[in-house]
Amino acid sequence: MDCVVTLDAGTGSGRCVVFDAAGGPLASAQEPFHYRRFTNPDVPFVRGFDLDPRAFWGALARCARTALAALPPGARIRGVIATSQREGCVFLDAADEVLYAGPNLDARAFAEGMEIEQRIGAERLHQVTGHAPPYIFPVARYAWYRKYHDGARVSRLFMLNDWITYRLSGVAVAEPSNAGESMLYDVARREWSAEILETLDIPPGILPEVRPAGTCVGGVTAGAAAETGIPAGTPVFVGGADTESALLGSGVYEPGATGAVLGTTSPVQTVIDHPLIDPRGNLWTSCHVVPDRWVLESNAGDTGDSYRWLLELMYGTADASTYAVAEDAMRNRDSAPSQVYCHFGPVIFNLRELNPLKPAGMLFRFPLLHVDRPLRGEVLHAFFENVAFAIRGNCEQIAAVTGRPIPVLTVSGGMAQSPTLARLLATVLRAPLAVATVVETASLGCAILAAVGAGLHAGLGDAVAAMSRRRPVDPVAGETSEYDDRYHRWREVYGKLTAWML
């Protein structure tokens, strides 16, 4: 049985999933990541996060050994490939020692990001990179490192998935989807931006050669084999950023197709065949993991993490059984129209008008609360409505820029497995959903790339057809008008809260 090994460094955890040529998961293992968190006293709402590179790599290596030990007899590993969270990066010196490692959460370089905007201009930065503002991106972190440390020591700058590829193969490469998350990359030209590098005096030599996702760059080294259990010489393929990989894993790669990855955060991306830049400078433009494809992104922000926090408040834990209990509570709630509105967690993407002091919470008809107190199911359902409303708002932002509606939304990720949320989303959007049946679609998307590179499928279309599966979810008949009204009420309050401060 032919199979491919995937390593996935997400925001909250690392995992290894092994897939067969039909896209079936054969074995998997997962470990949480832990970060050191700190606050800048000069800017209290800015948080810094340090990633321990030894612990990070150690977790991925253990996951690989555990997953490979669980493979059925006769499994033949045809390749290994890595995906990771976006914006996370690593700086190495000439001896490959890690000088800096930070996840996508690290905002320590907020001030340096503002300085970069002043030097290049916010509009020009967005035109070149497709992204803005630069506060959490590697371009700002490199400027921060050079300000407070010896920048001359930095020999290589890797995005996290490319660093994993380097740890596996010893070959320094980058790929377009996560290179674009550095804000050092020209998203239209698909190359490192000479303009940005020259303006900021960043040496081009620290940036790896860019190769297409799915390219074989070499084999697993003896050292990496000893650490991970993946046989030495196993072909190593270039992976991609987790969001774009998840799109591919859920079958979203043709122009006009749109997907939402409902995980820790919930990016919404539509596939385009040219690098369309939002003229308002709000939405992001990135390279897909598929050649000659780009994506236009709006983002609903903190969804999965907020839901986990809510479950921990209500039930004291957020393990798998808690999610099932919460689903039952929502299914058994009173079917009468809810009077609860939720306003925390998800957002309608607009980083330029980000208000870190914006109030949030649950809204009730307070004078009647003593006779009509909502139960857990109603509060949880209100949170899911909040997610669905935010996804709709982000879809509307994308449609306004592309000039075309979104007839079907493909959803993937852990939260997409909730029947309640899937049904709500379809009803709020007034459009059918296609729900990916494999939860780890970022891993699956990379497995599709590796399967094509290893010759297990003739081409990308064949691989997607063989390995990716989705189930349809239709809007609930008779409820779309009610949710239209609730959505517009929610938007009205959302707009007012955005202008308030606590």
What is the reported pTM? 0.94
Q: What pLDDT score does 371 carry?
A: 56
Nearest one of 468, 493, 471, 378 to 423, comparing CA atoms: 471
The three-class DSSP label of residue 448 is: helix
The DSSP line for 182-231 is GT-EETTTTEE-HHHHHHTT--GGGSPEE--TT-EEEE--HHHHHHH-PP
pLDDT in tens, 208-261: 999 999 999 999 999 999 999 999 999 999 999 999 999 999 999 999 999 999
pLDDT in tens, 383-423: 999 999 999 999 999 999 999 999 999 999 999 999 999 99
Q: What pLDDT score does 456 carry?
A: 97
Helix axes 419-429, 480-498, angle to 10 degrees: 90
Common-topology check for domains 2-241 and 245-299+405-473: yes
Cis-peptide, bond into residue 204, ω within 30° of zero = no
CB 257 within 8 A of CB 294: no
Task: Work out the average pLDDT over 344-352.
Answer: 87
The three-class DSSP label of residue 430 is: coil
CATH label, 245-299+405-473, candidates 3.30.420.40, 3.30.70.141, 3.90.1150.10, 3.40.50.300 = 3.30.420.40
CB 252 within 8 A of CB 201: no
Q: Is 167 left (phi over 0), alpha (psi -120 to 50) or beta?
A: alpha
Neighbours of 190 (CB within 10 A): 17
The DSSP line for 270-302 is EEESS----TTS-SEEEE-SSTT-EEEEEEEEE
CATH code, residues 2-241: 3.30.420.40
Phi, psi angle pair for 478, to nearest 5°? 90, -5
Task: Work out the average pLDDT over 321-335.
Answer: 89
pLDDT in tens, 32-76: 999 999 887 777 778 899 999 999 999 999 999 999 999 999 999
**Domain edges within the chain:** 2-241, 245-299+405-473, 304-390+481-498
Helix axes 419-429, 320-331, angle to 10 degrees: 50
Distance CA 227, CA 62 (A): 8
